[in-house]
């Protein structure tokens, strides 16, 4: 690390970490959209059903969630440096090797192990948890800025991948993306060798304040005579809620390009619609999470974002005009963009800070499993019915489960059975 960065005070260096985290998530999340854009060409080249590349997409999230538990423990004990470096190298190597895939098991191994277990696992949950260690005031804002990197990746990479696929083919596209991420992400990972010092962690409202004085096994009640919720119960319900919202979230993310193509439009229009969706998701994450999370809390912010996502999924099967497709994609992005970034905010509000890394990772494991189920379900139902309509309706139903759980948690908080551990904004 350059000497001027070493000498930089924590209060300034945290903004370096903020930008580095956003860029890591932006570059690394491109691996998710490699197979989204190339789903139909890959299936056609090998004469595979769409469920095959859809399941590879699923494996990246499911295995990434499993690996994220270990990365969360690593973050809580030793900081972000190790996970960041491992993730950078894994995503780069997995993308490079994808060029040489010829068998289904090879595709599954790359996306399950390199792109997922040791790659995707180091991205969302660890980066989001790590940034909450650097920011006390404006924590929701910081989470929103970093989370926007994931949505920006979806806005930028699909059109690039689509143009590259048409020009040089999907194999060379993955190869050059891998080289690019190796050159860009590895230097960024070295910045995480520095962890927040006492000026950050020991400040009012930081992890050593109310969070550390409250048992990690129980959320203390204030004046309510009823039994309080334990932190384990809160985490279980948040995990179930994240599964429901991410099953529905994965359907447009994994299949919008193919869906638009099935409606008779060029694949490039589908990539554009996905890009519009994720531009709006970036704006929602960047501004919406910071504003709604800071003003109303993570639970209420999540309820708003998830409600938008549910409504759009119900409408999506009835839309076939290209202009309306762009409009619906934009609305879905406004909802989707704020959903996942709300969970790290909720974790820091209601769960002990010293275990925030692994607790966030556990919730994201269930979210990743939901993403995997949704992506696979979309491909399987398309193979069964010849359209994505049934998948979109089922996705809305799963999202309704999320809404019921989050509404119930908000009600329990009002009753005094869930106590805010952090009052910092």
Q: How confident is the model at residue 226 (pLDDT cuts 50, 70, 90)?
A: low
Write the burial class of residue 144 (CB in 10 Å: 0-12 exposed, 13-18 middle, 19+ buried). Answer: buried
Average pLDDT in the 213-241 region? 63
Q: Which residues contact 339 (CB under 8 A, 6 or more apart)?
A: 245, 246, 249, 302, 305, 306, 309
Q: How confident is the model at residue 238 (pLDDT cuts 50, 70, 90)?
A: very high
**Mean pLDDT value across the chain:** 84
| pLDDT for residue 87 | 94
Q: Which residues contact 22 (CB under 8 A, 6 or more apart)?
A: 145, 146, 148, 149, 152
Rounded CA gap, 283 and 35, in Å?
Answer: 24
Q: For 323, list phi and psi in degrees, rounded to 5.
A: -60, -45
| pLDDT for residue 421 | 63
Q: Is residue 255 pLDDT above 70, yes or no? A: yes
Provide the H-helix boundaries in 284-355.
294-296, 298-315, 322-350
Provide the H-helix boundaries in 137-207.
139-168, 170-190, 198-201
pLDDT higher at 197 or 215: 197
- The per-residue pLDDT for range 6-34, each reduced to its tens digit, is 677 878 889 999 999 999 999 999 988 88
Of the chain, the percentage scoring pLDDT greater than 90 comes to 36
Q: Is residue 219 pLDDT above 80, yes or no? A: no
Rounded CA gap, 92 and 115, in Å?
Answer: 8
CATH T-level topology, domain 3-414: Growth Hormone; Chain: A; (1.20.1250)
pLDDT higher at 14 or 206: 14
């Amino acid at each position: 690390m350059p000497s001027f960065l070493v000498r930089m005070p924590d209060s300034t260096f945290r903004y370096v970490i903020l930008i580095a985290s956003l860029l890591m998530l932006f570059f690394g999340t491109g691996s998710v959209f490699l197979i989204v854009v190339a789903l139909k060409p890959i299936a056609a080249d090998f004469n595979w059903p769409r469920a095959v590349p859809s399941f590879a997409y699923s494996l990246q999230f499911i295995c990434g969630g499993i690996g994220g538990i270990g990365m969360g423990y690593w973050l809580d004990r030793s900081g972000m440096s190790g996970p960041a470096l491992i993730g950078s190298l894994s995503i780069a190597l997995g993308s490079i090797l994808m060029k040489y895939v010829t068998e289904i098991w090879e595709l599954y191994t790359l996306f399950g192990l390199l792109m997922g277990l040791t790659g995707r696992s180091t991205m969302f949950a660890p980066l989001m948890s790590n940034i909450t260690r650097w920011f006390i005031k404006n924590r929701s804002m910081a989470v929103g800025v970093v989370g926007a990197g994931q949505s920006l990746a979806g806005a930028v990479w699909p059109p690039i991948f689509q143009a590259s696929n048409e020009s040089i083919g999907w194999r060379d596209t993955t190869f050059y993306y891998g080289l690019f991420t190796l050159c860009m992400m590895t230097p960024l990972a070295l910045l995480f060798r520095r962890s927040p010092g006492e000026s950050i962690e020991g400040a009012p409202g930081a992890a050593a304040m109310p969070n550390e004085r409250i048992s990690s096994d129980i959320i203390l009640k204030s004046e309510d005579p009823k039994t309080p919720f334990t932190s384990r119960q809160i985490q279980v319900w948040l995990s179930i809620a994240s599964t429901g919202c991410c099953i529905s979230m994965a359907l447009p993310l994994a299949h919008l390009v193919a869906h638009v193509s099935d409606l008779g439009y060029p694949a490039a229009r589908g990539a554009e619609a996905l890009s519009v969706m994720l531009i709006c998701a970036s704006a929602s994450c960047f501004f919406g999470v910071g504003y709604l999370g800071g003003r109303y809390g993570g639970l209420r912010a999540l309820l708003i974002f998830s409600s938008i996502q549910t409504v759009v999924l119900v409408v999506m099967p009835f839309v076939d005009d290209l202009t309306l497709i762009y409009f619906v994609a934009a609305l879905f992005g406004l909802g989707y963009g704020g959903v996942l970034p709300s969970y790290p905010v909720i974790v820091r509000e209601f769960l002990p800070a010293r275990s925030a890394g692994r607790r966030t990772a556990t919730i994201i494991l269930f979210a990743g499993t939901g993403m995997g189920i949704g992506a696979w379900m979309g491909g399987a139902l398309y193979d069964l019915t010849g359209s994505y309509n049934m998948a979109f309706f089922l996705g809305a139903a799963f999202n309704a489960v999320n809404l019921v759980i989050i509404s119930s948690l908000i009600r329990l908080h009002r009753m005094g059975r869930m106590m805010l551990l952090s009052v910092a904004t």
